[in-house]
Amino acid sequence: MIGRLFNKLANPDQVPKIFAFVIIVVLLFSLTLSFELNQNQLYPKPAPQVQIELAKKNIDISYNLAPYNRGGLPLDPNNKGIVKSQYYTPYEGWITAYLTPFSEWLRDISYHLGTTIVAHPGGILDEILYYTRGLDTILESTILFAAFTIASWVILNRTGKK
């Protein structure tokens, strides 16, 4: 019995399946636990759905950035955007409100700029990604480029070329 089990483990084809099964067991077990969010990390802002409702009522143009509306003025220490970061930085919230001219134009004509936040340059993304979490951005792209390097090397040096 044990020998048969070990023989199965020694077969490389079985390894990902066993691994995935172990993860499923742990995740199923963790579903039964009560889950609490840390309240200090939640933004003191209306919920995203409420922000979008407010945007449709045309009260304030900055609600068109929902759900990423953080308020504030760019480069103004007295009017900082509302940002909660893991690490203390004195420049917190200085560039949160900055938008490129193109993004400003998009914000003026549409309610949905906030949902396309990953695709346009602006202060919110800069502040989150490059300012308090700078090394993450570098490391993520390093992993990506390592993967590209391996893939291109394998394709360029493949055997059985035509």
Chain contacts with another protein (rule: CB under 8 A)? 9-16, 18-20, 22-23, 26, 29-30, 33-38, 40-41, 77, 86-91, 131-136, 139-140, 142-143, 146-147, 149-150, 153-154, 157, 159
CB of 155 to another protein, least distance (A): 11
* 100, 122 contact by CB (below 8 A): yes
DSSP assigned state of 126: I
Rg (CA), the chain: 24
CB of 60 to another protein, least distance (A): 28
CB of 142 to another protein, least distance (A): 6
Backbone angles phi, psi at 122, to 5 degrees: -175, 175
In the complex with another protein, the residue whose CB is nearer, 86 or 109, is 86
In the complex with another protein, the residue whose CB is nearer, 61 or 138, is 138
In the complex with another protein, the residue whose CB is nearer, 91 or 105, is 91
DSSP result, 69-93 = -----TT-TTS------SS--TTTT
* 111, 88 contact by CB (below 8 A): no
In the complex with another protein, the residue whose CB is nearer, 57 or 158, is 158
CB of 12 to another protein, least distance (A): 4
In the complex with another protein, the residue whose CB is nearer, 61 or 150, is 150
* Residue 21 φ/ψ region, left for φ over 0, alpha for ψ in the -120 to 50 degree band, beta for the rest: alpha
CB of 55 to another protein, least distance (A): 27
In this structure, what token pair is assigned to residue 162? 């035509």
